[in-house]
Amino acid sequence: MTGARPWAVVTGASSGIGAWLARGLAARGHPVWVVARRGHALDELAAELTDRTGVDVRVSVRDLADPVARDALCEELAAEPVAVLCANAGFPVCGPVTDNDAVREAACVEVNAVALHALTLAVLPGMSARGRGRILVSGSTAGYQPVPTAATYAATKAFANTFAESLHAELRGTGVSCTLLAPGPVRTDFYRVGGVPGLTDQKLLAWQSPRYVAEAGLRAMERGRRLSVPGPVAKAQYVVGRHLPRTVLAATLRGTILPRLRGARAPRTVEPSARAP
């Protein structure tokens, strides 16, 4: 680290919300440490951030589904001053669980839940010792409801949502805060990675841009807020997911999602190149 300020770390920074989180942090003057699987995309982002803002940028190419790579990154984070952690890495596996690849289902849990937990625990001691720090967890409105055809993804986001909100309460008064970013539909490579590239063509959903979502999350994080749910559709999903009876909600989602999923599915062979959009 050549700058005087501690790092702002963004996982899943190769595209989508993560890339815009990195851009927003760099624009605010933070040295940015970007993490994802796709090294070429990170290198391009690092060059862009350096050219535009002049901040220091560190690149770590890591597959957070790999316990060895994940543990190595945790050790690196624990040894460095980290001011901000944007735990954004995640990916969906779409389709009925019985039809999905078991390896990808397990990787979804590793990245979306296990890595989030491990990386947070890696940076918290340093933040607590310094009496300052910000954590932004990318959850989802999907974590507030059962989602047929995305059961594992919804379950991992339920973990992320609950963990972030619980941690927010624990950290009150310490100088360290945890904010949950819970977006609804966002137009990114996310759905291509999940095997449903055609889902972004569905006009029923009011898609938000990753830039808008990232900026909303950063503003909420800076204010130490508990929760950011960007956009009216996401807010409606949040309210419905929390208050509608589960039997009604599950049946309704099954009836609306399944027909659209069938038309949006990609062939069985899905390129795994953007696991952490």
The bridge status of strand 7-11 relative to strand 32-36 is: parallel
With a CB cutoff of 8 Å and minimum separation 6, the contacts of 161 are 139, 140, 143, 144, 180, 182
With a CB cutoff of 8 Å and minimum separation 6, the contacts of 89 are 11, 12, 18, 35, 36, 64, 111, 112, 115, 116, 138, 275, 276
Contact 178, 137 (CB under 8 A): yes
With a CB cutoff of 8 Å and minimum separation 6, the contacts of 121 are 74
In the residue annotation, 157 being an active-site residue is answered as yes
With a CB cutoff of 8 Å and minimum separation 6, the contacts of 78 are 122, 123, 125, 126
Contact 131, 175 (CB under 8 A): yes
Could you say which of 144, 153, 191, 238 is catalytic? 153
- The distance from CA 76 to its chain's CA centroid, rounded to whole angstroms, is 20
With a CB cutoff of 8 Å and minimum separation 6, the contacts of 239 are none
Could you say which of 144, 157, 191, 238 is catalytic? 157
User: Token pair of 215, please?
Assistant: 């900026």
Position of tokens 């999903």? 237
**Which one, of 58, 77, 50, 53, lies nearest residue 13 by Cα?**
58
For residue 232, the SS3 value is helix
**Residues acting as catalytic residues:** 153, 157
